Chain A
Amino acid sequence: MQPLIELKSVSKTYGSGKKRFQAVTDINLTIQKGESFGLIGESGSGKSTLAKMLIGLEPPSSGTIELAGKPLWEGDKFKPQRPGEMQIVFQDPQSSLDPRMTVKEIILEPLYALSAGERKQKGSMERLQQLITRVGLKTDQLSRYPHEFSGGQRQRIAIARALITEPKFVILDEPTSALDVSVQANVLNLLKELKHEHQLTYLFISHNMSVIRYMCDQTAVMYKGEIVETGPIEDIFQHPRQAYTKTLLSSLHPLQAAGVNQAENHSNELSP
C-alpha cells in the first residue's frame, strides 16, 4: 500500500560555515493512511523543524517529502498538489488565531487557497454551523473574536479551521501542551472522535509520553535531529530498545510509581 506520507533521507541545516547547524539528519519515515503517528521528542530534537518542512514553512536541505506519492517540494518552492489537503494545529492557540478576525472569518480563511467553486461548496453556512457545533462551540459564537475565548475554546476554533478544507492529513503540533489537564482531556477526546468521523491521518507531535500513548498507534522518538527508535506504540512503550527512550519512559507514570491506580479513584462515578 502506498503510504500517505513518505520522507526519504530528509535533512535540514541552518546557516553555513562555522554557524552551520544541523537541525534534522537523514530522516526516513512513512505514515500510512488512517494512522495516528506520534512524534516524540524534547526541545531541540528537530520535531518542530520536521513539521515545518511538511507544512511548507521550511524547505528541506536534502531528501524528498512525498504526500500520496507526489513530492511536496520542488527545490525551495512548496508545491502541494491540492491546497487544503494538509492542515496543521499549532501548540499555542493564543497566537495562532488572527486577533482582528471573527471566529467565522478565521475558520473560513483556509478556503481562500481553494478555487472559488470549492470555496462556496465547503464554506456554506450550513457546513460552518455543523463544524462549529461539532467542535463544541455555539453558532452564535461565530461573530466573536478570539480574545473572548479560553485557551481550550481557541484550540477548538483552530481544529475547526483545520478541518474546513476537508484535509486528509492533519499535523497536530503539541495541540494540548498549553492547556490545563481537564481541558486537555476534552480536546484529546474531540481529536480522536474527529479522526474517526473524517478518516483523518494524524501526525501528533508531543513531548508528553502519556498523551502520545493514548492518541497514537505508531510512533517515532527523535533525539538531536535523528529518529532513534520507531515502531508500533505498544512495542516502544513495553520494550524500549534505546537508552534515550528508556530515560523518557522513566519520567512517565509518576502517579503509578507512587501507587496511584485510576481504578481506585472510582473515576467512573464522574462520567454522567
Chain B
Amino acid sequence: MKVVLEHLTKRFPNRNKKIHSEVTAVNDFTFEIPDGKLIGLLGPSGCGKSTTLNLISGLEKPTSGKIYFGEDDVTNMLPENRGIGLVFQNYALYPHLTVLENIMFPLENLRGDKKLTKQVMREMAYETAKLVQIEKYMDRKPSELSGGQQQRVAIARALVKRPSVLLLDEPLSNLDARLRLQTREEIRRIQRETGVTTVFVTHDQEEAMSISDMIVVMKDGIVQQIGKPQDVYDKPVNLFVAKFLGTPPINVFRGRFEGGKLFVGSECILAKEGEKDRPVTVGIRPEGFIPAEDGVFTCDLRSIEVMGRDRSVVASHSECTGAEIRAIVASDCDIPVHNGAVRFNLKSAKVYTFDELS
C-alpha cells in the first residue's frame, strides 16, 4: 500500500514552560511513499524523523496536514485501526511471555468476524517465525535470546498480522557492529519477501544508504532531500546533505567563482563555464582526489594511513573549514610528495559547490 504524506506538520509546546513558543518537530512534509518500497528516514538526532514515524503510526497527531494509506485518509484514525506494524528501538518484547506468545499477541486481539482460532494463530506465528528464522526458539523468553534474535522476534510480532505498512524505529542501533551488517541484510530480505511498504528511521547514513530504495534526509524538522541513495549521494542539494552522507565525510573549503573558473585559495581547481563571480563553499568527496605530480590542487601532507584495500591521505589546507582533509586513494597508486606538499587532480563529478557560506 502506498503512503501519502501531505503538508504534514507537527509542533510541540516548548519543554521549558516559561517559554510559550512552540517547537516545530516536522515542518510541511510532503512525500508519496510508493507501494512495496523500503524507505529510510535519515537525519541527526532531533531532526524530526522519529516524530514523522510516530505520525505515520498514529501515536502522535499532526498539527496540520494529511496522511493517506492508499486512498484512505487516516489522519484522524487511531493507531490500532491503521493496520500497521511497529518495531521499537528497544524491541519492547513482553519479557514475561515466550517468543511464541509474543508473536501471537497481536493476533489474539482480533475481535468479531476477524477472530482467529488458536490453531490458525499458531500456524500464522510459526509461518512468520520461519520468515525471520526464529522458529527454533519459540518457547524461550526474550531474555534468553541474543540482541539480533530479539530484533527478529520484534519484526515477526510486527509482521504477523499482515500490516499494510511496517515501521521500524532505529532497528539496528542496539546491535553490535557485526550483527548490524547481518541484520540489515536480513531486514532487506524480509521486506522483499513480504513486499510490505516499509519505513525505517536511522541516524546512520551508511545503514540507510545500504538497504533503502529511497532515502529522506531531514534536518530541524525540514526535509532536505528525497531520492535514491546513490542519487542523493551524488547530487546533494545542499551542504548539509553533502556533509551528512559519506564516510569519511566530505572535505569542505572556502572557494570562489571567478571568470568561469572555480578557485580554492590561489589555485584554479576546475573550469565551470557560465557561473557568475561569487564566493562559494566547495565540497570534495574523499574519493574525488587523484594524486598527481602536476595536480591542480596543493595540500600539506600530514600522514598516510594504510587501510588494506586503499589508503587514506591526511592533509591540510589553509582554506579548509574542517580540521583536516581526508582523501581515499587506491593502495597501488603513487603519492608524490615534494617538500611536504602533495598535489591532486580532481574528479569533477565529486566536486560540489554550494552558495551557502559556512
A binds B: no
Residues on B facing A (Cβ under 8 Å): none
Residues on A facing B (Cβ under 8 Å): none
